[in-house]
Structure 1
Amino acid sequence: MIQRIQTLYLLVALAISGGLIFVFDLYTDVNQSVIFAKDNYLYLGLFLGSALLSLISIFSYKNRQTQFVLGRLNIILNFILLGVFVYQSLNLSGEATVSEKGIGMILPIFSIVFLVLANKAIKKDEDLVKSVDRLR
């Protein structure tokens, strides 16, 4: 249902996780070569997993509880991805691989923001349906 605001939030999260990873670079290594998410299978898998969870959540609009749980799982997945980026950029062995950070490393933060907004709207819809059921 495209008219619901949480669907729009989920579409933006899907576009960030599934589309913008091919546009923005993650980092530049010591050899001055630009690294994208498609160059590392771990990053690509986590980003595409997040996009897949957003897509499944969009099409499960009839079951708001499932949609809410999928949104929370997606938020956890994006926090894991953000943790991997932080670990990669702050590696204790010095500047082993990451020379300059790109804007692609903050894409999970934007995705988390839109997923939280979507979950807030899903919760609001669920509360509205429960309040209407009480009146019957």
Structure 2
Amino acid sequence: MIQRMQTVYLILALAFCGILFFIPLSLALPDTDAGNVYKLDAFGISFSQDKLTILAENTIALTACLAIASLLILIAIFMFKNRPLQVKLSRLSTVLLLVFVVLIFYYTDYMIGLNEVETKSIYVTGTYLPFVAIILLLLAVRAIKKDEALVRSADRLR
């Protein structure tokens, strides 16, 4: 299982999705000292006030997309004997991660509106990691298809 290239791609994609649960996705910084600094992560929009982190908005859609995509990747890793299902799960995970990226941009724009003062958004590392996971999933699908073609050609020779 682990010696197959698609499994390595899937494990790496799962690792990047797992990292996304722990790092910020974007920040909304006020242009002056008057506003709050808002942070978007996989669980919601929060800001710090008097050394306390306060959850301003809960982003259930963002959390659900990332959790379901991660779960589907994990299932796909163990479906190595059923390659067509592995391809479908990987493609569905790719679509969910694309929705996740769209939601990141949506919630970042939403964060800017939460501040009363002029605010600018900063996209940090967490914004770009889903793209790496998507590329790894596409490489995994390509490797799975190549593996399936190899198995079919071997079956033809029998």
For these two proteins, the number of residue pairs brought into alignment is 133
- Give CA deviations for 1:57-87 in whole Å, capped at 9, x if unaligned: 0011110000011111111111111122233
Q: Which residue of 2 aligns with 1:99?
A: 121
Distance across 1 between alignment mates of 2:112 and 2:157: 62
2: CA distance between counterparts of 1:76 and 1:67? Answer: 14
Deviation of 1:21 after TM superposition, in Å, equals: 1.4
Which amino acid in 1 is paired with 2:27? T
Give the aligned partner of residue 102 of structure 2.
83
Q: Per residue, is there more strand in 1 or in 2?
A: 2
CA distance in 2, matches of 1:134, 1:104: 46
Of structures 1 and 2, the one with the larger relative CO (CA 8 A, separation 6+) is 1
Q: In the TM superposition, what are the counterparts of 1:51-66 in structure 2 within 5 Å?
A: 51-66=70-85
Tell me the TM-score normalized by structure 2: 0.76
How far is the alpha carbon of 1:90 from its aligned partner?
Answer: 4.8
Any idea what SS the aligned residue of 1:95 has? Answer: helix
Aligned match of 1:21: 20
CA RMSD of aligned residues (A): 1.9
Asked if 1:114 corresponds to 2:114, the answer is no
Q: Which has the higher helix share?
A: 1
Q: Hey, what does 1:35 align to over in structure 2?
A: 40
Residue 77 of structure 2 aligns to a residue whose secondary structure is helix
Counterpart in the other structure of 2:145: 123
Give 2:54's aligned residue.
none
Kindly indicate whether the alpha-carbon contact (under 8 Å) linking 1:24 and 1:102 is maintained by their aligned counterparts in 2. Answer: no
Query: Which consecutive residues of structure 2, in runs of 5 or more, have no partner in the other structure?
Result: 30-35, 45-58, 115-119
Task: Compute the displacement of 1:99 (Å).
Answer: 3.0
Q: Runs of 4+ in structure 1 displaced over 6 angstroms?
A: none
1:133 paired to 2:119: no
CA contact (8 A) 1:28 1:99 kept: yes
Ranges in structure 1 where 5+ consecutive residues have no aligned partner:
none
Aligned-partner SS, 2:150: helix
